[in-house]
Structure 1
Amino acid sequence: MSDAEELVTSWGEKNKQSQDGEDYDDGEKKQRRSSDEAEESAGVRGEETELTRQSQVYSATTDTLFSKSHTRAHALSLEWVIGMTPALPVFSLQDHDQLVILYAGAHIGIIYNHTSKTQHTLQGHCNPISCMCVSEDRRWVATTERGPKNLVMIWDSYSGIPVQTLFDCHPDCGVVAMAFSKDTKHLVTLGAEDVQCLCVWDWTNQKEKPLCFTEINPKHGYQEHVIFNQNDSNQLLTSSESQVLLYSRAQGDLQYVALNFKKLCAAAGSGRDASVSPPSPADLSQAVNKAARFPNRCVFHCRKPQVLAATAAGGLVVWDVMKDMNENQTVPRDRIKVIRLQKDPITVLAVTDSCIVTGDTQGDIKFYNDEFQLVMWYDEFNLDAIVSISFSKECTEGFLKACTLEAKPYIFRNFVVSTVSSRVVHVNSQKSIQQILLSEDCDPVHAVACHPKQPAVAMGNHMGILRVWDYNNKVIICRRVFATEKEIGCVTFDPQGSYLAVGFGSGAVHILNSSTLKNDPQECFHFAKDGILHITFSSDSKYLATGDAGKTVTVFRLQAREGTSPRWMYLGRYRSHYKPIIDLLFGVHLDSTQPRLLSLGMDRRLVEYDLENSEVNHLLILSSERVEQSAVPKCMTWYPPLTAEQFLLIASDQYKMKLFNSTSRMCRQTLLGPTYDSPIKKTMVLPKVKESETNSYYLAYITEDKVGLQILPIDGNPYKSNAVICHSTGVSSFACSYEGRFVFTAGGSDCTVMSWEISLNALEAAASLGGKDMDPFYTLLEGGRDGKLYRDMEDFFYFCQVGHQGTDSMEKRQVSTKIPLCEVPSLMRALTYYLTEQEIEDLQNEIKFSKYAETGKYVTDIDLEEFIKLYINHRPAFGIDRHQLIQDFNVLGNQDSTGRPVLQRNELLEFLQARGEHMTEDEVAECFTKLLGVNEEEEEEEEGGKGGVEHSYIHKSKGGDSEYSLECAIPEEISLETFTGHILGFSCPIQESGRSSSSQ
């Protein structure tokens, strides 16, 4: 069934429901007639087809969404979103039988049923949601985003199913505002481009282009609000801080006329309304700027052909709209007036039934009739500035007595209010009773930690608010606001669950009682001047360590005293890294139960501290070793006991994961990690669950914007890993629940924490679809097992056997399925993976000691399948990075007269022989000979007739002056093009500003 058919059949279902006795107002009756016309045009009137009866959208009702059971078909499923986007409105979807609202959190749309305390998430965007809107009957929800590759998605709120997606409506920057027409057939989108574009779409069909559109002159200001005229769908308006634009599409094209705030004072001073008190231009400008963050301040009059715009000074600007207005036409002064409604700045202006409704900076909500007379107000709810007001589609007729001398008929609609502090309140309009639906602390969240024994997660934000949340019952257990400290950077529970340590941006460390969130003032430490980035307890809960932005590790010790309760004491500090600390980890010594502490820095150094011999104010270093040559480590964790050795797992920015022996620090294995746009930046092993149906261990990790799971042991199989976008603007931290059911991610700037439910069975099932044995690894080879690379591997593999036995031998060859260890580096280089000497050593150690712990013997040869795994795991994840070569050349070279970076010949030779892994003169000469394609034997035969570069290499081979030979072979000044094209031999030389694709 097409989206249009689903739409009209769902409208038809609404008609059937209304005929069964459901009440609708005049607007809904008009919509019912519109849906009849839509059904006739689509040819669906009459008997239902089998297809419509099977449609989940057609058959959905208001009870469908939260009554159906959700099966967890994915390894990670979004279970709950804590927090919301305070700048976006909150909509009322259902009110009477169930209380259901719609709001946004980061890139997720959230339908929250307050009656059943359940959430349904609308997932489909990869960027934060920039705006949302709902249809008049609350059936259809539209969400959109800012940024490249943006989408506009229309959802069925009854079933939660997306029914239409508009791709790249505004491809450059996305959508800043949108709205449905009253008949729901049309959707208007307002782009965020420099020259904004307004588009009207018939979203019920499959057309990829809008019905009509127009570009907005930038002189009218940045438009950020759009709305249809509910009495005439051919009229729209948009608004900026200073201007309102009125659009008409009566003749097919969109035309607009500007309604300028600058004309207000002149119009108000004309004396046409004695009750009008126009603000001064200065006051008006200041008030508009003060409430610029509240764009929903322009509407059409509920009955008259008028446009209303609220000013931040508490006034209301009224334009009488004339028909057939054109772009060059101005509104006469006698058709503009300013009405002083109230003294507080208006932040929200809305229309419902025959009332005009305002919300202001003081949290007051006032109702005016169509003559702008006050009929009702709500000022007792103790709210702050109002962001949005959304009225329920259900209404109750009654008599209003509060503001009139005699009771008059009145339509009461309950409504939902959201404020700048992310409080969402439901108001019963007849009883004037408020009910708090949400009260979120919407500030950047960078700290999250799970209790080791209870279903609780602690969250700290940048306003110094710490909360502990029960994730089973979805309630806040306890909350503390730190009066003197702000910017909670990290939190952690001790393994026993007795303490909760909190690190602040000021460098302070507070150790709290995990149940009450209170602490002894003597356990508030201020030894660091820089923000605390890492905090962790030892497994016996006797040590606490922190790492700060000053590259310093601080250790605290739990001191037991006779007759008193244990108290935390300062042990010592050490500035052990010269680049930022990226991870801090406690462990246990193999030969004892004593804790050990390690820190890992961006300086590529792994530092271990001597806790046993350290004294107060004297923290000792046990060892400091370099663990990477060129890669930058990102995180570390203890590898689970899957082997006889104890390993430390370190992930790097080159998408590699390395296992280091915890005692010798020898790199024992290099493995390809998940390759999802950005490398892993934090990881932890999931707790082992006794009731688990599987016996495997699992690794949870986060990248820049994703959260994922990895089946252990790691072997480079990409199908054993799974990840989803969790926070599109970046995930700052994460934690795993003690029972291994949930992963919690903190979104930092998006002010949300998300709970992800884990399904290990789904993870295992997805891994099994990748194939068994070597099948997953063959897919990582270009062309697979039938491709050229695999055939080259086979050929080179057997060439290595021949070469090892000697190319001059005439004896019968002993063909084997294995090659000796010494031939592996040559085979790697033949396949265009050029290892450094350190990488060769790591590679040979990995092979040599692969079975030593189990058998006590060294491995001296490998077969082809083992080699393929080694090749896939060790080679660069994305081939040779040409852009990195450009960056390196710009760093090493100097600019010439044209501004291009060039490298002097003597500098290049010096770098090769004195920096990094030093090369000898012979090695340098050999490399340049091979790079430039010189064949020594052929050149010796033609020595008498040739000279130049070739001749210089012959002299070098015969013991001539090597320096002179290299000078003749290499240009004196080496540009980027010469280096990449002539020397390295790239088929397409890299230009300085070029953007070449990576090659293997």
Structure 2
Amino acid sequence: SEKVSSSPPNTDTVQGVDAPAVIPDAPKIPSPEKSEVTSVGLEGSMSSAALNVIWSFGLNRNIPVLNLTDNSRKLIMYACAHVGVLYDFENNRQHILQGHINPITCTCVSEDKRWLATGDKGADSTVIVWDTYTGVPVQTIFDTNPEGGVVAMAMTPDARYLATLSAAPTQVLSIWNWTVDGDTPLCTAELNPSYGVQSFIHFNPEDIHFLVSNSDSQVIFYQWNDNHMEYFAPPLTDQDFNKPVGRYSQSIFQKNSTRVLTSTSIGNLVVWDTNKPLTKLHDSQPSADKKALKIIRQQERGINVLTTTENFIVVGDMAGHVKFFDQSLKLVHWYQDFHLGPVTSISFAFYPNFEPVAKEGSNYPPDATIEARRFVIKDFVVGSSIAIFGSVTADGTKVKVIHREHDAAIHALSAHPSLPYVVMGSYSGLLKIWNYEKKQVMVSRQFEKNSMIRCCAYDPKGAYIAVGFVNGSVRVLDSITLEDQTAEPFRYARYGITHIAFSHNSQFLATADGEYTISVFKKQHLNDEPYGYLGRYRAHYKDIQDIIFGIHLDSNQPRLLSLGKDRVLVEYDLENSSKDNLRITSSDRIEQSAVPQCLTWYPPITKEHFIVTANDQFKFKLYNATTKMCRKTLLGPTYGSPIKKIAVVPTKDPIKEKRYLAYITDDKIGLHILPLCGNPHDAMALIGHPAGVSNLVCSYDGKYLFSAGGTDASVHMWEINTSALEAQSKLGGEDLIPFYGLLDGGREGELFAELEDYFYYAQIRSQGVNAMDKRELSVKIPLTEVPFVMRAMGFYPSEQEIEDMLNEVKFSRYVETGKYVEDIDLGDFIKLYINHRPAFGLDPQKLVHAFKTLGVPSAQGNSIERGYLLDLLQTKGEHMTEYELAEYLTTLLGFNGEGGSSELQEFDSSTAGDIIDQNLPVNVTEEMFANEILGFSMYKDVMATSQLTS
């Protein structure tokens, strides 16, 4: 070593929890019995959940792949969204490790490949330690910090201790004795945020009381015992050695030495050594106090991976090469023909009695020495930045590609109409068809650069696949070869294709694009190309949420509908459309305040033909397929975010068999029993992709669901277990029991008692308050009383919502009996109330938003001038008459003891103008409007927060 003098680096010492000063011997972890050593991965075992993920397509290319291969198995582990995958690449079997609710951010494994740790980042984050032979979690470390989670982990070779680097802005390094305690770390160190995000950590295999970690700009050295940790962060700049350093990638301890090596993004190796004079080095105890000794220009390409195996130092670089050096950094061997892409991870198999000696008949490559000795190492697995995993068998230098997956977001997903095939496409331009029964890739195609695939669809006969791209082009491909069926792609849209669909008879192909436009292509029978352009129509002024083809009731002709964010449902006249002249049949505004998210055809489980939609207010709505009248509103699943897409699960007998609806929310996938009724126990949901679910399709036989994760570049295959969902529904109770649970206080609560009073008072009202005849009380009230009882219950529907409610009851039996329903009983009223009221009650933020939009800022908050407010109420939206406005305002201001036009008197409007002028200020603030006019105390805190924000 060279004598280099420099000022000592800054030192930070952090005390940990009390613990014994002497570390006992590491536990001897027993080797598994031969009966245990089996390839985990028996997918398909039915679980007690209604949905069970049984296979994951894709992988997280940013998390290193771990090689768990030993003498009895060929196994790797990689992350896929929020699950870990143990993949037996010899037998093509997976075992899914489920336990995280956030995307997995880091993994590590013990030297003997038995103990595996996985960690995530986010709310309710955890670190889970698994037994890789059984796939069972053996320890869980919970993090209660909202910004919790880990970004890097390392395990000691004997698997006793685990080091974690937290994900919080101020990172904490923690050492855990996970075999004893998963609640409290042995010791911790809080790191200065100026060091950057430490993203790599490594134990010294020869002395586990020393660690090294690094961010892309700072290397930190640690020394710890059971109750104390100190660390050193030596500075290093380009000026120290008059040469560029580069960004740090990974660090290792050099064997039989005090040195540490750190690789960089420009091909350098930084050598760190003890920061003490050479003469005192052998007299002192080992120390974590190190400094940069030299910078070695190792190669031209950036180094991503730096690890060790046996006596070799192993480097993986941006060129896709893997190099082996001896301890003096002399090149011993160089693999350069893998063609797997830039190397981001290298992991070696574990052979307990491995001897680096070439046996007779072996075919190991020669090393780089003059003697050209056989280069004998363990088999290893390489991961790349373009989502390719390869297994390298050292004896013979055989490279087997384990996975070649998407390295960009997956949005395009479609299932074959009659075969077990699923096609998926990504922003990387890769299109793959999988046989999901055999878990084999049937065919794939890599499109040219910048051809980002946004959506795709099989035609109903399975002959073609239509693919829509982000650049607005559409291709029609042969479903077997993926070859183009048209001379040139269709290029009629200037923005990305968002939706694509075929008609039931394959006669039409329709696309929706980012320009709010529908394009239709028609089947050509006298031309070599299967489809030709028909026309385009821009019927929406906001994003198109969904498009569907259907069948006319009186014929077998297809019909096309599109649903927009502008709340408009448009039907197109395909029969009378001609080249460059696409026509529309109708355009209906189907929502008043909610924004529809998706639609599909309601299955034939009713005599009436319906379209079902889901909106952002957690409601399902059924519309008559012909008149577009809203026939039913139902409470949907309330799992954090509204439903984004729905699909009716196929079945062999659509008429006799029970039907189910699959759906996705922002991050969940779920299943719902049909018919829809608002019962919350009829639905379930699981976290599908924590970073967001982008698409959903069902297999043709209704056995499986497939969910695409968008940015996580993965697709999960879910097995459907309808028995579990039916059992859940039965346990929730029958008839009205589930709905009683949605009332405050339930069946015995005050709200239900009030409802009964209102219900019977409504009967008195309908018969006349002053009537002296004998009262005839029944179990029903007239429909005309429904709006008044609803408002008395604290639900304030608009006139449109009242019309929808009344129509729902009025036409409920019309198809069966040909007669209108004119009254409603208590049970049906409770269901109507539960299904129509806001899913989460009144939203104070809506009033704040209204005043912020319509008003002007003032010292008291946003305010609206009185005359302007009265004008808005009379002319905009569901406008009021002058008489109604006077009646309502004077009542709300407290000047009508009986509540305006009561049962006992008519409202006198002669003095209303003076009352409003005297009691309503010139400038009405949101606080005054909420507290004094509406009388809602719930708005006070919201108003205060709003004013503080302003």
**Would the TM-score normalized by the shorter structure come out above 0.5?**
yes
- Pick which of 767-776 and 60-69 moved more: 60-69
Distance 1:936 1:783 in 2: 30
- Contact persistence 2:485–2:530 (CA under 8 A): no
Is 1:373 matched with 2:330? yes
Question: In structure 2, how many angstroms separate the alpha carbons of the residues matched to 1:970 and 1:442?
Answer: 62
Q: State the SS of the aligned residue for 1:547.
A: strand
Secondary structure, in 3 states, of the residue corresponding to 2:849? Answer: helix
Cα distance in 2 for partners of 1:938, 1:531 equals: 56
> 2: distance between equivalents of 1:742 and 1:799?
52
Query: Could you tell me whether the CA contact under 8 Å between 2:222 and 2:232 is conserved in 1?
Result: yes
Normalised by the size of structure 1, how large is the TM-score? Answer: 0.86
Taking the aligned partners of 1:198 and 1:485, their CA distance within structure 2 comes to: 41
> 2:258 pairs with 266, 288, 305, which one?
305
Distance 2:781 2:34 in 1: 65
Instruction: Find the counterpart in structure 2 of residue 661 from structure 1.
Output: 624
Match of 1:982 in 2: 932
Structure 1 residue 559: Cα displacement: 2.1
SS in 1 for 2:208: strand
Tell me how far apart the structure 1 counterparts of residues 467 and 172 of structure 2 sit (CA, whole Å): 48
Deviation at 1:696, TM superposition (A): 0.9
Residue pair 1:57, 1:161 contacting (<8 A) in 2 also: no
Q: Distance in 2 between matches of 1:923 and 1:938?
A: 12
Where 1:872 maps in the other structure, the secondary structure is helix
Alignment of 1:905 with 2:866, yes or no, is yes
Shift of 1:488: 1.1
Distance 1:614 1:484, change over 3 A: farther
- Cα drift, residue 473 of structure 1: 1.4
**How many Å separate the matches in 2 of 1:379 and 1:409?**
17
User: How much has 1:508 moved relative to structure 2?
Assistant: 1.0
Indicate how the Cα distance of structure 1 residues 321 and 689 shifts in structure 2: closer, same or farther if over 3 A, else same. farther
For 1:139, the aligned partner's letter is R
Aligned residue for 1:837?
Answer: 799
Match of 1:28 in 2: none
Determine if contact 1:299/1:309 at 8 Å carries over to the other structure: yes
Counterparts of 1:194-205 in structure 2, within 5 Å, are 194-205=169-180
Does the Cα contact within 8 Å between 1:353 and 1:411 map onto a contact in 2?
no
Preserved CA contact (<8 Å) 2:559 2:573: yes
Matching residue of 1:344: 301
Identify which of 566, 587, 592 aligns with 2:555: 592
Q: Does 1:475 find its partner at 2:440?
A: yes
* Alignment pair present for 1:923 and 2:876: no
Structure 1 residue aligned with 2:95: 120
Q: Which residue of 1 aligns with 2:699?
A: 737
1:169–1:189: structure 2 CA closer, same or farther, 3 Å change rule? farther
In the alignment, which residue of structure 2 is the partner of 1:10? none
Give 1:236's aligned amino acid. L
Of 880, 885, 889 in structure 1, the residue corresponding to residue 851 of structure 2 is 889
Match of 2:609 in 1: 646
CA-CA distance at 1:700 after TM superposition: 1.1
- For 1:847 and 1:604, the matched residues in 2 are separated by 24
Structure 2 Cα separation of the partners of residues 938 and 881 of structure 1? 25
Residues 362, 216 of structure 1: CA spacing in aligned structure 2 closer, same or farther, 3 A cutoff? same
In the TM superposition, what whole-angstrom CA distance separates every residue of 1:124-173 from its partner, at most 9, and x where no partner exists?
22221111111222222211122233222222222222222222275425
| CA drift at 1:592 | 1.3
Partner of 2:418: 453
SS of 1:918's partner is coil
In structure 2, relative to structure 1, the CA distance for the partners of 1:325 and 1:484 (3 Å cut) is closer
Amino acid at match of 1:629: Q
TM-score, with structure 2 as normaliser = 0.91
Taking the aligned partners of 1:688 and 1:163, their CA distance within structure 2 comes to 40
Unaligned segments of structure 1, at least 5 residues: 1-30, 40-55, 267-279, 940-955
Counterpart Cα distance in 1 of 2:836 and 2:46: 38
Q: Which residue number in structure 1 is paired with residue 838 of structure 2?
A: 876
Answer 1 or 2: which has greater helix percent. Answer: 1
Q: Map 1:603-682 to 2 at 5 A.
A: 603-682=566-645
Name the CA shift for 1:68/1:628 in 2 (closer, same or farther; >3 Å): closer
> Where does residue 399 of structure 1 map in the other structure?
357
- Partner deviation per Cα, 1:626-646 (whole Å, 9 max, x = no partner): 111111111111111111111
1:625 aligned counterpart, secondary structure:
strand
- What letter corresponds to residue 583 of structure 2 in structure 1? L
* Aligned residue type for 1:970: L
Partners of 2:478 and 2:485 within 8 A in 1:
no
Contact 2:669/2:688 (<8 A) preserved: yes
Shift of 1:735: 1.1
**1:100 paired residue among 75, 79, 83:** 75
SS of residue matched to 1:467: strand
**Residue of structure 1 equivalent to 2:49:** 74
Distance in 1 separating the partners of 2:313 and 2:40 = 33
**Equivalent in 583, 593, 603 of residue 546 of structure 2:** 583
CA contact (8 A) 1:302 1:370 kept: yes
1:456-485 CA-partner distances (Å, limit 9, x unpaired): 111111122211111111121112222266
Q: Does residue 516 of structure 2 align to residue 551 of structure 1? A: yes
Contact 1:227 1:299 in 2 (8 A): yes
After superposition, the C-alpha distances for 1:934-962 in whole angstroms (9 at most, x for unaligned) are 344799xxxxxxxxxxxxxxxx9655354
Q: Shift in Å at residue 566 of structure 1?
A: 6.4
Q: Aligned residue for 2:452?
A: 487
- Contact kept? 2:601, 2:612, Cα under 8 Å: yes
**Could you tell me how far 1:524 is from its partner in structure 2?**
2.1
Could you tell me which residue of structure 2 aligns to residue 964 of structure 1?
914
- 2:536·2:580 contact (CA, 8 Å) conserved in 1? yes
Give the C-alpha shift of residue 591 in structure 1: 1.3
- The Cα shift of 1:795 comes to 1.8
Matches of 2:372 and 2:582, distance apart in 1? 80
CA distance in structure 1 between the partners assigned to 2:844 and 2:271 by the alignment: 62
User: Mind listing any 5+ residue stretches in structure 2 that lack a counterpart?
Assistant: 1-22, 276-283, 359-365, 901-905
Offset from partner CA, 1:208-253 (integer Å, 9 cap, x none): 3322111112333332111111111211111122321101114832
C-alpha displacement of 1:548:
0.8
The counterpart of 1:795, out of the listed 750, 757, 776, is 757
Q: 1:60 touches 1:158 (CA, 8 Å); kept in 2?
A: no
Cα distance, 1:880 vs structure 2: 0.4
Residue 408 of structure 1: how far off its partner (Å): 7.9
The two structures, once aligned, show a CA RMSD in angstroms of 2.7
- Work out the CA distance in 1 between the residues paired with 2:138 and 2:523: 59
Q: Separation in 1 of the partners of 2:811 and 2:233?
A: 78
**Structure-2 change in CA distance of 1:221 and 1:660 (3 Å):** closer
What is the letter of the counterpart of residue 798 of structure 1? Y
In 2, distance between residues paired with 1:298 and 1:685?
52
Secondary structure of the residue aligned to 2:477 is: strand
1:306 partner letter? R
CA distance in 2 between counterparts of 1:932 and 1:204 reads 68
The answer to whether 1:249 aligns with 2:224 is yes
What is the one-letter code of the residue matched to 2:296? I
Question: Which amino acid letter does the alignment assign opposite residue 301 of structure 1?
Answer: Q
CA contact (8 A) 1:79 1:756 kept: yes
- The 3 A distance-change label for structure 1 pair 76 and 59 is farther
Letter in 2 for 1:888: A
Q: Report the counterpart of residue 26 of structure 2 in structure 1.
A: 34
8 Å contact from structure 2 (residues 41, 86) kept in 1: no
1:991 offset after TM fit, Å? 4.6
Deviation at 1:412, TM superposition (A): 3.1
Distance 2:182 2:449 in 1: 58
The SS at the match of 1:94 is coil
1:581-637 Cα offsets, whole Å, 9 max, x none, are: 111111111111111111111111111111111111111111111111111111111
**CA-CA distance at 1:380 after TM superposition:** 2.7
Shift of 1:530: 1.2
Aligned AA (2:579) = V
Q: Answer yes or no: is the 8 Å Cα contact 1:397–1:410 preserved in 2.
A: no
Residue identity opposite 2:803 in structure 1? E
